[in-house]
Structure 1
């Protein structure tokens, strides 16, 4: 039987639309010495879903490029699904917008599920010995790393029956890997440790692999079993490293459009068996990323780094830190927000909005594009920002779920007061204006927030995060961040 515990596909780390900012520094300032990169620092290139590098691989060569408006609508639709999953985990479903179109789009069956099944960034990962290459969705909210897979394990072993792997490019031939080891269903690990990863209770023989069954909110599903295998990764010194006995899922049946042509998922969520937890321990207990402006040339790379990152030294004078609240909102990376200011003035927002014990709380989620705010915070932010753009003609046609959009002809960004999130520990995150007054279509901009209802979970999405360096220090429960061009 499926475990009733939806989780979410995440990181995303990996992300969708981004908005720009520029790191300014004094040319004559004495920067701290940059140490030589440690040989055990691991770096993976983050490839955006809309990158030409993936055209013809993920989407199919004949798929036409989408307009900015089409991409925004697609991202918003995925955000809505993802938010409902996160909210269901917390036991409430807010998202009050007052718009009939959005309400209809959210009338979806509530099924047990791991996540929304979509992501915006991919990494190339090599699995097995000899290594086989796969393109995986990167997600900070996903717990399990899995690949499309085929395996014949012998006459005394009965893995889940393989089904159809739709819209996929590569399938892992596990029989060809000398390092592939299934986890038997009779083991304590299967019966207890992997319950949170949707392990099934069926165990026809002691040697049968421990099975899982994911059912996704968008109707997609994945069926497979757990195994340990070797993953080969590149280090920043140009060498390769083999990571042995990494928990992966061998997905034998993946149905639906949720995975958008990817070969699987790289789980970077916060739980005992995620790739992030396992690998971060090998590389100093931390990982980091920096997401460039989506309007930048597509050949500019983003990187997901495990271990020491050169940026943390070059940006040290701008670096701030706050606590990571690990375990408060399971799987996700939560932060303690004290309030929001606009133009240097703190908004009147009830403290309960930021308190996870009252159904609120805030997560940093690279798998969600837009930023969701519980209704009291949403109203305070929107009413203040609307004043600053009221001189421009307001638009009302086809702008769901955005509450306020306008004709941006002659728009002057300097007239918009700066918004800031105030974190615990006197840290202040001040995103560029383009991160919250976003491009919706040519000559059209919108205030890029969505109401999360009340009570509701606050989510700082990847548009708000981009053009900043983010380091997740899991070992010390700290989040470090600084503005950066990410180049």
Structure 2
């Protein structure tokens, strides 16, 4: 029965880079691939749609735990811009079998190419890496490194002339990188700053910090280099999330994330337009740093709302004030959206489904269930989505319009297919998951699909508008 696969996914971007440029007048672009792409080496892809759904939703739920965990940590502790832009082709993961998106990433001098997960909730950019002591070190000083896993690309840091480790006694290691899990151990002043980067789902990456050069492709098919990018050289890592990847690109809001570094150089902002999550790999759009050329694809003008940078660091927080369905505002307590009361909302391209805390989840589900109650309800084991049904004869117009209302008057109106989603042939589910209270609500990537999203970090605003994205 379950022949087609629902691709509930984390969003990844494939970065494509090309030759040095002197003039920066055109945007550069990066190709986006899904984790289950046949082009990627790695573990076997899930065989059935239900297996993929279970795997992807499990990733979503562990991500929500990670978001809440980082929020608690944040509460406990608390540019030069030009007209150049980078364009990175962005693809959905239907043909790749997982809920993640990938970017082709070129790092080092000369450049070495890797396939990395693009994660808007992760600060650190790291690659599977082997480092002994540099290009000119003595053999007796070299350290033993774990052997790379079969079929994996490994960054050979000793062959890169631009790879520069951070000393473990430096202020940056001991203070600035504490929130990136830098380690206190420092056998000698010249030892590199080490990290043990932990994810809430049990995944982890261990390695050393370094500054490196990243090569970026421009829209005019030239290339440029971004120097002194903080890179993690991971000698070992574990976790199912990394099964088909060589590492992670950190796109969260953080001083040392790749998103922040690239945005500072390329216009102070980045944007993406997510094609339908069921699109095949030949359909793509772009993750862009700098001026966006996607505005020609918009169905209307960009609407803007305040982007609360640092409020739920490192996530991209927005001020939601309510949700309406069919034109009627739902009775949702304001505390759900209030960070000071334990709530808040983030826009997360790495979470597939949309998570709402219980006080918002219940009225939303009650209103939507009424519109699909005439269809046979189905029980699908292993899924957190509470309401699924036989969709034979279903039409989008049967479901009333859902709208997110922001405190400054902006309204986000997702497509019906973004919250009544395909799970299998003839099966749809209401694409919401309940989040415990206190907790953060997340607007996931399926809810965001077929819209252009512009994250203006310089002006602290989020722009969005419907788009074909193709």
TM-score bucket of the superposed structures, by smaller chain: 0.7 to 0.9
Relative contact order higher in (CA < 8 Å, ≥ 6 apart):
1
Helix, strand or coil at the partner of 1:170:
coil
Cα displacement (A) at 1:174:
0.8
Uncovered stretches (5+) of structure 1, i.e. residues with no partner: 1-10, 16-36, 93-117
Work out the CA distance in 1 between the residues paired with 2:253 and 2:144.
30
1:87 paired to 2:73 = no
83-92 or 465-474, which deviates more: 83-92
Cα displacement (A) at 1:163:
3.1
1:121 paired to 2:107 = no
Count of matched residue pairs: 426
Cα displacement (A) at 1:455:
2.1
Pick the aligned partner of 2:47 from 66, 82, 86: 66
CA contact (8 A) 2:33 2:281 kept: no
CA contact (8 A) 2:105 2:114 kept: yes
Match of 1:32 in 2: none
Match of 2:94 in 1: none
Evaluate the alpha carbon distance shift between residue 425 and residue 38 of structure 1 in structure 2; reply closer, same or farther with a 3 A threshold. Answer: farther
Helix, strand or coil at the partner of 1:366:
coil
Match of 1:76 in 2: 57
Work out the CA distance in 2 between the residues paired with 1:420 and 1:297.
28
Cα displacement (A) at 1:454:
2.1
Cα deviation 1:61-116 (Å, max 9, x = unaligned) = xx356332222121111111111121223349xxxxxxxxxxxxxxxxxxxxxxxx
Pick the aligned partner of 2:349 from 352, 366, 370: 366
1:147 paired to 2:127 = yes
Match of 1:381 in 2: 364
Pick the aligned partner of 2:225 from 219, 242, 262: 242
Cα deviation 1:432-477 (Å, max 9, x = unaligned) = 1111111111111111101112222100001101111111111111
1:319 paired to 2:295 = no
Give the TM-score normalised by the residue count of structure 2: 0.86
Pick the aligned partner of 1:480 from 436, 457, 463: 463
- For residues 118-197 of structure 1, the aligned pairs below 5 Å read 120-153=100-133, 154=137, 162-163=145-146, 165-166=148-149, 169-197=152-180
Helix, strand or coil at the partner of 1:72:
helix
Match of 2:19 in 1: none
Work out the CA distance in 2 between the residues paired with 1:215 and 1:157.
32
1:208 paired to 2:167 = no
CA contact (8 A) 2:12 2:35 kept: no
Uncovered stretches (5+) of structure 2, i.e. residues with no partner: 1-8, 14-22, 74-97
Evaluate the alpha carbon distance shift between residue 479 and residue 222 of structure 1 in structure 2; reply closer, same or farther with a 3 A threshold. Answer: same
Pick the aligned partner of 1:288 from 271, 278, 292: 271
Give the TM-score normalised by the residue count of structure 1: 0.83
RMSD: 2.3
Helix, strand or coil at the partner of 1:217:
coil
CA contact (8 A) 2:209 2:231 kept: yes
Cα deviation 1:322-370 (Å, max 9, x = unaligned) = 0100111111000000100001111111111100111100000111110
Helix, strand or coil at the partner of 2:241:
coil
Evaluate the alpha carbon distance shift between residue 216 and residue 313 of structure 1 in structure 2; reply closer, same or farther with a 3 A threshold. Answer: same
